[in-house]
A = this chain, B = another copy of it.
Amino acid sequence: MRATEFLLATEKETPADAVVVSHQLMLRSGMIRKLAAGLYTWMPLGLRSLRKVEAIVREEMDRAGAQEVLMPAVQPAELWHESGRWFQYGGELLRLKDRHQRDFCVGPTHEEVITDLARNQLSSYKQLPINLYQIQTKFRDETRPRFGVMRSREFIMKDAYSFHLTADSLQQTYDRMHQAYTRIFERLGLDFRPVLADTGSIGGAHSHEFHVLAESGEDDIAFSNASDYAANVELAEALAPAGERPAASQELSVVDTGDATSVEDVAKQLNVGLEQVLKAIVVRGESEAEDAEDGEAGEPVVLFLRGDHSLNEIKAEKLPGVLSPLQFASEEDVQGIGGVPGSTGPRNLSARCYVDRSAAHMADFFCGANHAGQHHAGFNWQRDAELPEVVDLRNVEAGDPSPCGQGTLEIKRGIEVGHIFQLGRKYSEAMNAKVLDENGKAQTLMMGCYGIGVSRVVAAAIEQNHDDNGIIWPDAIAPFHVGIVPMNLHRSEAVQQATEQLYQDLQQAGFDVYVDDRDKKTSPGVKFADMELMGIPHRIVISDRGLEAGQVEYKQRRGGDAQDIAVDAIVDHLRQTIAC
């Protein structure tokens, strides 16, 4: 591609409303343009990378035996009523009415449509397992779309859905998808981790997320420093401290803590470490009345943690009797169970209680005295209050022992770009999708689903690969592999000829080549800067002086010095250097 024939749209200024680096660089390099909140046009530069991601995803899905389909983006409400999600899904589902006033949505996902297809097309176990995928535009009506295509409203997903007779078969396809995803992100050239993930509201049993590691990631990922173990902090297990709980060595007493109510203020006031103070968090419970509806609130539940630990809400809302999603109790609720906001402790509390494994290991600790302005000191479980049920309630922290038993945990930030999921029978049961088994008996299908945020991958790749000058593309998804800057192009016939020849040769070798043939009004400095901003990984400068020595100058975007390479060796050099 020649610059003069290309919709080059680089910008010097960082747009004011772009807060993350990928959003800034995608706008500045001219990859995308905003149409409206959360809606972006992919410009020629951006689309080139997007299509390369798509192609790799498609090749690996095909290789893994999945079959490509294309479902409508606009979906009838009836199916969403069947699954129960028409009302459950909330404001992110873009609902609409057609000209006949029938309800539809612009699909944020396709479980309902594919399950409908499956129940119509699949009748026998002989057709199983089957794995169908599509690469398609989806819509999620985010309240606050942000970060460019990282959290846009319209986006491109690869979504796959597999159907099975048995859990074993589902596990096999799940493993195959795990492998395919690993290949995909390896081929994309990204530093990534598959991590154990929470199955969330979508239900189902097993789940892994694939995260591209980047400081700007929204998720915390916990890794073992000595094994392959990786999990979203949401899910990572916090082990119980080793050994027995220390024996009580102090008398129980009451201390004045004035108007200190937060665990931090109390610890400060008492001049002790946070880890010596027990923290009580009161949340709303789920009604256990027989005629209660799902999600109806009941008696409050108290959660105890060590003062220096943070509550893991995902773990908490899975506990029996706790309302999900998690809601904190009101002051009246706290008083109703005998607690005092800011001074709630385990003694004489009339509520269901849980204690975190680490908090259960505390001895001679401080905790609320259920009396305003007072706390207990020298508190010990079992002696001063019954030990509540011990559970894993906290977020893991760097330095914790890894739950895999090997090494300690490190925590890094990641951007979720893929998610694989064993859905089980959630949708097939609701929508009555069955096949006949070997005995002629109807069996509800088992189901898995496997997503990749194709447009999000592009942004995540930039978050991971950039410097102050712009993007640094991995070869596999670079819009152009090679950029040529011809010096003095419009005056030197030698440079013209060498440029044209190299442009043709590199294209024939299978590379995507960009030649900055803009006239002399655009200085070489501007051309270099644009190429760095656009992230073209390999740069060649052609000049009269170089040509006189039979050489061109070669430089990698990622760093290292410029090298002079013989004109007739440069194509081979790139063949050996470029990984795609």
Contacts of A153 in B (CB 8 A): 74, 98
A328 within 8 A of B: no
Contacts of A116 in B (CB 8 A): 35
The stretch of A137-145, A230-238, A391-399 that contacts the partner chain: A137-145
A65 within 8 A of B: yes
Contacts of A113 in B (CB 8 A): 35, 41
Contacts of A72 in B (CB 8 A): 35-36, 39-41, 154
Partner of A71, one of B7, B35, B76, B104: B35
A50 within 8 A of B: yes
- Complexed CA–CA distance, A91 and B96 (Å): 14
Interface residues of A in 50-79 (CB under 8 A from B): 50, 65, 67-76
User: What's the least CB distance linking A517 to chain B, in Å?
Assistant: 13
Q: Contacts A35-B113, A76-B36, A137-B137 hold; do A69 and B44 have CB atoms under 8 A apart?
A: yes
- Complexed CA–CA distance, A130 and B4 (Å): 10
Interface size on A, residues (CB 8 A): 51
- Complexed CA–CA distance, A98 and B121 (Å): 34
Contacts of A6 in B (CB 8 A): 67
Task: Name which residue of chain B comes closest to A71, CB basis.
Answer: B41
Q: Contacts A99-B143, A121-B33, A137-B137 hold; do A7 and B67 have CB atoms under 8 A apart?
A: yes
Contacts of A39 in B (CB 8 A): 72, 74-76
Contacts of A528 in B (CB 8 A): none
Q: Contacts A73-B73, A106-B106, A139-B74 hold; do A9 and B68 have CB atoms under 8 A apart?
A: no
B7 close to A121 (CB less than 8 A): yes
A567 within 8 A of B: no
- Complexed CA–CA distance, A18 and B532 (Å): 56
- Complexed CA–CA distance, A120 and B36 (Å): 13
Contact bitstring A378-413, B, C-beta under 8 A = 1, else 0:
000000000000000000000000000000000000
A132 within 8 A of B: yes
A96 close to B99 (CB less than 8 A): no
Task: Name which residue of chain B comes closest to A68, CB basis.
Answer: B47
Q: Contacts A67-B44, A73-B137 hold; do A33 and B99 have CB atoms under 8 A apart?
A: no
A5 within 8 A of B: yes
Contacts of A498 in B (CB 8 A): none
User: What's the least CB distance linking A60 to chain B, in Å?
Assistant: 17
B69 close to A42 (CB less than 8 A): yes
A562 within 8 A of B: no
Partner of A43, one of B69, B95, B99: B69
Contacts of A35 in B (CB 8 A): 71-72, 75-76, 113, 116
Partner of A154, one of B40, B73, B127: B73
Task: Name which residue of chain B comes closest to A8, CB basis.
Answer: B127
A349 within 8 A of B: no
Scoring A95, A99, A127 by chain B CB atoms within 10 A of each residue's CB, the highest score goes to A99
Task: Name which residue of chain B comes closest to A67, CB basis.
Answer: B44
A41 close to B67 (CB less than 8 A): no
A247 within 8 A of B: no
Partner of A41, one of B43, B65, B117, B127: B117
- Complexed CA–CA distance, A91 and B97 (Å): 12
- Complexed CA–CA distance, A528 and B96 (Å): 45
A326 within 8 A of B: no
B76 close to A130 (CB less than 8 A): no
A94 within 8 A of B: yes
- Complexed CA–CA distance, A47 and B69 (Å): 6
A70 close to B50 (CB less than 8 A): yes
A47 close to B70 (CB less than 8 A): yes
Interface residues of A in 141-170 (CB under 8 A from B): 141, 143, 153-154
Q: Contacts A35-B116, A41-B70, A137-B137 hold; do A99 and B91 have CB atoms under 8 A apart?
A: yes
A5 close to B96 (CB less than 8 A): no
B69 close to A154 (CB less than 8 A): no
Q: Contacts A41-B72, A99-B143 hold; do A33 and B154 have CB atoms under 8 A apart?
A: no
- Complexed CA–CA distance, A6 and B66 (Å): 9
Task: Name which residue of chain B comes closest to A137, CB basis.
Answer: B73
- Complexed CA–CA distance, A127 and B68 (Å): 39
Task: Name which residue of chain B comes closest to A36, CB basis.
Answer: B76
> Could you give 13 example pairs across A and B, Cβ below 8 Å?
A6-B67, A7-B69, A7-B121, A7-B127, A7-B130, A33-B117, A36-B72, A39-B76, A42-B70, A72-B154, A74-B139, A96-B97, A99-B141
Closest 9 CB pairs of A and B: A96-B96, A42-B70, A39-B72, A44-B67, A36-B76, A91-B99, A41-B71, A72-B154, A99-B141
